Amino acid sequence: MRTHIPTNHNFYEECPLVENELKTKFGVQKAEQVKKIKDSLFASTFEFTSKNETLEQVQIFGFKKQRNKLEDEEKLILKLYSKEASNSEKKFFIQTGLFAGVLYHKGCQFNITPLYGDNFLKRMLNFVNDIYVDNQEAKAAKSDQTNEFQNIIAYLFIQSLEKASVLGLPKVYQQQSQRSHKVRGKVDVNAYLKTDFPFQGKLTTSFREQTFIQEIVDVLYLACRKLEQNFGKEIHRKILGTFQLLKQNYSGNYAHHATIEKAKNNTILQNPMYAPFKNVLAYAEIILREQDLLTQKQNNKLSTHGYVFDIAQLFEIYLEKLLNRHFTDWYVTGQEELKVYDELFYGRKMFPDLVMRHLESNQVIVLDAKFKKMRMIKDDLDRNDFYQIHSYIQYYEPNVLFGGLIYPLSSGLNTDKAHSQGLYGKETNDTNFIVDGINVNEDMSMAEIIANEKEFLERMEYLIALSIQENQNVKLEQVIAH
């Protein structure tokens, strides 16, 4: 049984299920089966977070190294609970955070899908590392044998393999022997006495040589081949040299469960030089064992398992690169470390998502990226997000031009209601505050998304020019006053 839920679902408990709707939600027709699902899933509150004790059964993947590490902050992944309504009717809630992926819980498959459709997801993935995986073959009809996350897995695997293989594929020294006219290493005396005596012109020698680790080569090559079947040969464009090397050294055997485990647990991965291959093999395992994961969901006795991706991180990187490429006079950084009250017991660090710093004037724009539902209503702006961005803006005073929260917008932007002329709405403060973003929805084509990106960047250009002009006017007024 399978259900689809978007990220950031039921944040304000606005979409409860009632018992009759469970049939539609879970795709089950028989009333007895519906009751069984309800009693099993909602018997007690189930909450799965990034700090859950059974996280070893769920792989959590990010798109960059976070300064404020995942273990420092508990983030919601999936929550199931029920509440009694005023009319004694029971309401059931499925709540999600900002992770997308596949979770299997009590025999049910939960596909947590990114907001705003496949095209926006592909746009973010393509933009982040110029890996294009949105060809026609990738758009095959979905069934119980596929899921929505092949693009994400493909991106992460290709990106991590490209970076990890810069210093070459993992190698280990192994003892080799050869029988030839040339001496390499040392002569094998025992072999000489057994086979080469009397001397016939050839000697058996033994030597140590670095060789590729076969199980790692096999797993990586087969993962590449499976991606090729799904997305075409273009998927290998950024790792063509590595792919050819894997192909040349492939053993010809399929990588079964034991092979995958042997590759993941190889001691060579403890070497810092080859440590990045741990993540590469984790992605390869998902690619090769996807069918096994789908089959396991039938077993109710299994603990919660699956894999999820931090989509909020993906949105941050997407915005960072979008701004960096457009505003060439500005240096854009993500997760800049700010130390506050460093010498005191309550000292801590803050990490704004995006900081734009002008290369000449050192003026600053500070933004927080929020991959949350934004319909331009007050309830969609989280109180903590609101206070947090104001803290960042105050930290950068007096050099900050403006700051704000950037969302994927699900409705049109009215700048008169979303852009404040002055921090806290005070005209006496010349630092502006904005809520802005890129207008996207599930039905939007890639061309429309690109056009909306351009509109967002043009608004940012206007805001920068306006803020600089306002600052100059304020300074002029101060000079005249003196």
The tens-digit pLDDT sequence of the chain (482 residues) is: 678 888 999 888 888 888 767 666 666 666 676 777 777 888 888 888 887 765 567 888 887 765 544 445 788 999 999 888 777 778 889 999 999 988 888 878 888 988 888 889 888 887 765 544 443 333 433 434 445 677 788 888 988 899 899 889 998 877 767 777 677 667 666 776 677 667 667 777 776 777 899 999 999 999 999 988 888 888 888 898 999 999 999 999 888 888 999 999 999 999 999 999 998 998 998 888 765 554 454 444 456 788 888 999 999 999 999 999 999 999 999 888 999 998 899 999 999 999 999 998 889 999 999 999 899 999 899 999 999 999 999 999 989 999 999 999 988 888 899 999 889 988 778 889 999 999 998 888 988 999 999 999 999 999 999 988 887 776 666 667 66
- Residue 124, φ and ψ in degrees, nearest 5: -65, -45
Range list for CATH 3.40.1350 in the chain: 327-481
pLDDT of residue 393: 95
The CA distance from 318 to 113, in Å, is: 18
**Domain range 327-481, CATH architecture:** 3-Layer(aba) Sandwich (3.40)
- Residue 160, φ and ψ in degrees, nearest 5: -70, -35
pLDDT of residue 159: 85
Q: Which two tokens stand for residue 308?
A: 């999820």
Residue 224's H or E segment, with its range, is helix 214-231
Axis crossing angle, helix 117-129 with helix 150-164, rounded to the nearest 10:
10
- Residue 54, φ and ψ in degrees, nearest 5: -100, 30
pLDDT of residue 219: 94
To which residue do tokens 């290998």 refer? 236
pLDDT of residue 23: 65
Q: Which two tokens stand for residue 187?
A: 């002569």
Pairing of strands 354-358, 364-369: antiparallel
- Please tell me the total number of residues recorded for the chain in this structure: 482
Kindly write down the DSSP assignment for every residue of 147-159, as one continuous string: -TTHHHHHHHHHH
In sign, the C-alpha dihedral spanning 233, 237, 241, 243 is negative
- Residue 203, φ and ψ in degrees, nearest 5: -130, 150
- Residue 400, φ and ψ in degrees, nearest 5: -80, 130
pLDDT of residue 133: 44
Residue ranges of alpha helices (H) inside 42-177 are 117-129, 150-164
Which residues, listed in sequence order, are joined to residue 11 by a DSSP beta bridge? none
Residue 368 CB-half CA count within 13 A: 21
- Using an 8 Å Cβ cutoff, are 152 and 164 in contact? no
